[in-house]
Amino acid sequence: MPQTRVYHYVNPNNGNHITSLLPPDHPEMVCLQQGSHIEETKFGLLGVLAAIFWFPIGIGLCLLDRSVTCKRCGAVIKGRPSIQLGGSNGRNEN
C-alpha cells in the first residue's frame, strides 16, 4: 500500500508550521516558502468595456472591476471590491 507523504513547511512571514500534502514544487507551496506571491492585476471584461465605451468615466469602473491574483499559484490576493455577482460573504479587513 502506498503511504501518503506529508510535507512540513514553515511560513517565513510568521514562523507558523504548516503540514500539507502538497509537494514543495507545487505552486502554492513555492509561494508559501518564499512568503510572497507574484502579484498580477487583472481587469474584468465589464470594466474594460466600460472604459472603452464610457471614456473617460469608464476608467473608474475599470479600476473597480480589478482583481489582483498570484501569477504562480492563482491565489486571489485582492478581490473585486464592489462588483460581486452572487454570494454575500462579508469582507474581513483588519
Instruction: Name the site residues for Zn ion (rule: CB under 5 A).
Output: 31, 37, 70, 72-73, 75
CB of 73 to Zn ion, least distance (A): 3
CB of 61 to Zn ion, least distance (A): 27
- The H or E element containing residue 39 is strand 39-43
Give the residue with the Cβ less far from Zn ion, 22 or 49: 22
Give the residue with the Cβ less far from Zn ion, 38 or 83: 38
Give the residue with the Cβ less far from Zn ion, 41 or 60: 41
Cell 498570484: give the residue.
70
Which residue type does 90 have? Answer: G
Q: Contact, 77 vs 71, CB < 8 A?
A: no
* Grid coordinates of 77: 490576493
Give the residue with the Cβ less far from Zn ion, 2 or 23: 23
Neighbours of 37 (CB within 10 A): 21
CB of 85 to Zn ion, least distance (A): 24
Strands (E) in 1-94, as ranges, are: 7-10, 17-20, 39-43, 66-70, 76-78
CB of 48 to Zn ion, least distance (A): 24
